[in-house]
Amino acid sequence: GHIVRNWKVRWFVLLQDKLLYYKMEGGKKEPSPKGRILLDGCAITCPCLEYENRPLLIKLKTKTNTDYFLECCSREERDSWALDITGAIHAGHPVQVQELHRMKNSFKLLENISLHHIVERMCDSSTGIKLTRNLGQGNRYKETFTGSALVDWLISNSFAVSRFEAITLASMLMEENFIKPVGARSTEATRYSDLSEQFLDDSTALYMFAESSKKNTSSKEELQFNISELRGTIVKQGFLVKQGHKRKNWKVRKFVLRADPAFLHYYDPTKEENRPVGGFSLRGCLVSALEDNGVPAGVKGNVQGNLFKIITKNDIHYYIQASSKAERAQWIEAIKPLT
């Protein structure tokens, strides 16, 4: 409401140039509309996250700067209304309408997208994703968010233009261990082999930040810590193939081995920015070659042999493939003295 800021049930009818709304009496709409929203020059925001406890909002701002907040009954209904209203707003521009329908099922993530940057934005106390307590399988989880809430947040912050893109991006955050599933609903989904099915755009699927992505220090302190890791003397570097922790697929990574302090970092060779996508301290690690006859437990996918394994002091297992037995031996010999 514009005078009393309460929420009222209204029956909406979308016409070519306006949105009419009717008052309901006895379960039926009155014959004459209560009001109308002229769509010419309107700006639409969907999802609109201005009300923390109302995730199903559409916001319409008219060309006279009047704001209308419309709440739907489900995300499917909200997105359907938003698409149709947007089409009506641009009805005089058929090329834009075609582009909107194309974007609905599009997939084209931003170039050079940084998952670290997304997580930093997610952790922002004022504009980041809202963390809540939730129940799952009888357990109470602190500081969680739902799958659908993350998809809404990614779209509203322009990291994705469609829900399909946002789901894929969220899956990447999970695969790279920035977020993790909690509770039966989301944990069960990770057993699927298809990446697009692992993350659920669902209000009952719970997720939380992984321990590795929690911001326990300020940005300045975190930056100094990262710089200290990279100050070590480079002992060895080269391309190896690493198995992912979530999806268990194999990716080419550039590995850099440093001493004083002893760290092993790996980089994505497809990205121009010269910052590691992962790494770990070698203190307390165990490194060993794996036999080439048969596939060891914990290893999946297309394995060519020449495998070795590194187990960190936190019991995280890294499976890595070298191009030859000789190269594998060289890496193991270089890593062992630093553990």
Residue 236 inside a domain? The answer is yes
Q: Which of 105, 125, 159 is the last residue of a domain?
A: 105
> 182 with 274, same domain?
no
Q: Which of 78-92, 288-302, 318-332 has the lowest mean pLDDT?
A: 288-302
For position 131, what pLDDT does the model report?
Answer: 87
- 164 DSSP 8-state letter: H
Looking from the CA of 108 toward its CB, the CA atoms found within 13 Å total 4
Q: What is the CATH number of the domain that holds 207?
A: 1.10.10.10
Tokens 């100094």 -> residue: 224
Residue 324 inside a domain? The answer is yes
For position 67, what pLDDT does the model report?
Answer: 92
Does the pLDDT value for residue 30 go beyond 80?
yes
Residue 222 inside a domain? The answer is no
> 134 with 53, same domain?
no
> 38 with 134, same domain?
no
The whole-chain average pLDDT of the chain stands at 81
For position 199, what pLDDT does the model report?
Answer: 86
> 208 with 277, same domain?
no
For position 216, what pLDDT does the model report?
Answer: 41
Residue 76, beta-bridge partner list: none
Number of domains in the chain: 3
> 50 with 79, same domain?
yes
For position 292, what pLDDT does the model report?
Answer: 62
pLDDT band at residue 296 under the 50/70/90 scheme: low
> 210 with 277, same domain?
no
> 206 with 136, same domain?
yes
Q: What is the CATH number of the domain that holds 265?
A: 2.30.29.30
Q: Which of 90-104, 183-197, 213-227, 275-289 has the lowest mean pLDDT?
A: 213-227
In the chain, % of residues over pLDDT 70: 80
Give yes or no for a contact between 218 and 189, defined as CB atoms under 8 angstroms apart: no
Residue 238, beta-bridge partner list: 255
Domain coverage including residue 145:
115-214
Amino acid present at 326: A
Average pLDDT over every residue of 289-297: 66
Residue 150 inside a domain? The answer is yes
Residue 44 inside a domain? The answer is yes
> 45 with 69, same domain?
yes
Tokens of 47: 């999802």
CA 189-297-174 angle, 5° bins: 30
Residue 122 or 171, more confident: 122
Residue 64 or 215, more confident: 64
Give yes or no for a contact between 186 and 147, defined as CB atoms under 8 angstroms apart: yes
Q: Which of 79, 105, 131 is the last residue of a domain?
A: 105
> 140 with 200, same domain?
yes
Q: Reduced to 3 states, what is the DSSP secondary structure of residue 190?
A: coil
Question: Is the pTM higher than 0.85?
Answer: no
> 273 with 196, same domain?
no
Does the pLDDT value for residue 123 go beyond 70?
yes
Query: Checking DSSP bridges between strand 132-136 and strand 67-71, what pairing results, if any?
Result: unpaired
In the chain, % of residues over pLDDT 90: 28
Residue 242 inside a domain? The answer is yes
Residue 256 or 303, more confident: 256
Average pLDDT over every residue of 248-262: 87
Residue 5 inside a domain? The answer is no
Residue 273 or 87, more confident: 87
Residue 193 or 7, more confident: 7
For position 263, what pLDDT does the model report?
Answer: 93
How many whole angstroms from its chain centre is CA 175?
10
> 125 with 90, same domain?
no
For position 192, what pLDDT does the model report?
Answer: 60
What is the rounded CA–CA span in Å between residue 17 and residue 287?
A: 68
How many whole angstroms from its chain centre is CA 18?
36
Residue 309 inside a domain? The answer is yes
What is the rounded CA–CA span in Å between residue 334 and residue 339?
A: 10
Q: Which of 161, 186, 214 is the last residue of a domain?
A: 214
Residue 170 or 104, more confident: 170
Looking from the CA of 163 toward its CB, the CA atoms found within 13 Å total 17
Does the pLDDT value for residue 272 go beyond 80?
no
What is the rounded CA–CA span in Å between residue 289 and residue 336?
A: 12
What is the rounded CA–CA span in Å between residue 321 and residue 250?
A: 9
For position 264, what pLDDT does the model report?
Answer: 93
